[in-house]
Structure 1
Amino acid sequence: MTWRPPRRTEVAEQIYTEAAKDRAENPHRYRFDAQRVVERACRRGEYTPEQFAPGWADGLDAFLGSADQDGRLNALGIRMALQSATGRLLAGARIAQCRAARRDLCDAALPPPIVIIGGWRTGTTFLFRLLGTDPRLRAPLPAELVSPWLFIEPFRPDPTEVSATASQLLHTLNPDMAIVHPSGPSLPEECVLAMGTDLRNWGFTSMMRLPGYAEWLAAQDFTGSYARYREALQLLARHDDRRFVLKAPAHTAELDHLIETFPGLVVVQIHRNIVATLTSGASLFAVYRSTYSDDVDAFEVGRQQVTQSELWFRRALQVRDRTPTHAATFVDIDYRDLVSSPKTALQHVYSAAGMTPPEDLDALVDEYNRANPRDGKGQHRYTPEEFGLIPEQIRERFAFLD
Structure 2
Amino acid sequence: MGRSALRALAPLDVDVLSERARRRTGLIDPGEGWFWEGLRVLSASLEDEADLALLGRLGFGDEIERQIANRLLLREDVRREPRIAEQRTPRPVFIVGYPRTGTTLLHNLMILHPDAHAPRFWRLQAPSPPVRPEDEARDPRRAAARRRVRFAHAVCPIFATIHELSADGPEECVFLMQNTLLPCVRAETPSYRRWALAQDLVPDYQHHRRQLQVLQWGCPEGRWVLKSPFHLPAIAALLQVYPDACVVMTHRDPLRVVPSFCSLVAAARAMHQRRVEPRAVGPGALELLGAMMDRFLEARARLDPARFFDASYEELTADPAGLVRRIHERFGLGFDGAASARIEGWMREHPQHRCGVHRYTLDEFGLTEREVLDRFGGYLERFGELAAGKRGRS
- The answer, yes or no, to whether TM exceeds 0.5 is yes
- Stretch moving more, 256-265 or 348-357: 348-357
Other-structure match for 1:135:
114
> Does the C-alpha gap of structure 1 residues 192 and 53 become closer, same or farther in structure 2, counting only changes over 3 Å?
farther
1:310 aligns with 2:300: no
Other-structure match for 1:181:
163
Other-structure match for 1:5:
none
1:243 aligns with 2:223: yes
Aligned runs of 1:189-268 on 2, under 5 Å?
189-196=171-178, 200-238=179-217, 239-268=219-248
Aligned runs of 1:280-291 on 2, under 5 Å?
280-291=260-271
| AA at the equivalent of 2:91 | P
* Equivalent residue in structure 2 for 1:91, among 66, 70, 76: 70
| AA at the equivalent of 1:105 | I
Q: Are the counterparts in 1 of residues 6 and 54 from structure 2 also a CA contact under 8 Å?
A: no
1:67 aligns with 2:46: yes
Q: Give the number of aligned pairs.
A: 376
Q: Are the counterparts in 2 of residues 136 and 242 from structure 1 also a CA contact under 8 Å?
A: yes
How far apart, in 1, do the equivalents of 2:375 and 2:172 lie?
28
3-state secondary structure, aligned to 2:352: coil
How far apart, in 1, do the equivalents of 2:360 and 2:214 lie?
40
CA shift at 1:344, angstroms? 2.1
Aligned runs of 1:321-360 on 2, under 5 Å?
321-325=301-305, 329-360=307-338
3-state secondary structure, aligned to 2:337: coil
Other-structure match for 1:14:
none
Other-structure match for 1:108:
87
- Stretch moving more, 295-304 or 119-128: 295-304
TM-score, normalised relative to structure 1:
0.89
Q: Are the counterparts in 2 of residues 251 and 258 from structure 1 also a CA contact under 8 Å?
A: yes
How far apart, in 1, do the equivalents of 2:280 and 2:324 lie?
37
Deviating above 6 A after TM superposition, structure 1's stretches of 4 or more consecutive aligned residues are 23-26
CA shift at 1:24, angstroms? 9.3
How far apart, in 2, do the equivalents of 1:151 and 1:364 lie?
29
CA shift at 1:218, angstroms? 1.3
Per-residue Cα deviation, 1:263-299 (whole angstroms, up to 9, x for no partner)? 1111000111011111111111111111112311222
CA shift at 1:384, angstroms? 0.6
How far apart, in 1, do the equivalents of 2:55 and 2:108 lie?
30
3-state secondary structure, aligned to 2:301: helix
CA shift at 1:139, angstroms? 1.2
CA shift at 1:154, angstroms? 5.6
1:298 aligns with 2:278: yes
Q: Are the counterparts in 2 of residues 52 and 90 from structure 1 also a CA contact under 8 Å?
A: no
Q: Are the counterparts in 2 of residues 114 and 353 from structure 1 also a CA contact under 8 Å?
A: no
Per-residue Cα deviation, 1:90-113 (whole angstroms, up to 9, x for no partner)? 111111111111011011111110
> Does the C-alpha gap of structure 1 residues 344 and 39 become closer, same or farther in structure 2, counting only changes over 3 Å?
same
Per-residue Cα deviation, 1:299-341 (whole angstroms, up to 9, x for no partner)? 232112211111111211121111135xx52100011111111
| AA at the equivalent of 1:191 | C
| AA at the equivalent of 1:277 | V
1:392 aligns with 2:370: yes
CA shift at 1:162, angstroms? 4.8
Per-residue Cα deviation, 1:351-402 (whole angstroms, up to 9, x for no partner)? 1231221314543233222332211111000001011111123212312122
How far apart, in 2, do the equivalents of 1:64 and 1:72 lie?
12
How far apart, in 1, do the equivalents of 2:32 and 2:132 lie?
23
Q: Structure 1: 5+ residue runs without aligned partners?
A: 1-19
Q: Are the counterparts in 2 of residues 99 and 105 from structure 1 also a CA contact under 8 Å?
A: yes
| AA at the equivalent of 2:146 | A
3-state secondary structure, aligned to 1:184: coil
Q: Are the counterparts in 1 of residues 92 and 225 from structure 2 also a CA contact under 8 Å?
A: yes
| AA at the equivalent of 2:212 | L
TM-score, normalised relative to structure 2:
0.90
Aligned-pair Cα RMSD in Å: 2.0
Q: Are the counterparts in 1 of residues 73 and 129 from structure 2 also a CA contact under 8 Å?
A: no
Other-structure match for 2:17:
37
Q: Are the counterparts in 1 of residues 231 and 238 from structure 2 also a CA contact under 8 Å?
A: yes
Q: Are the counterparts in 2 of residues 329 and 352 from structure 1 also a CA contact under 8 Å?
A: no
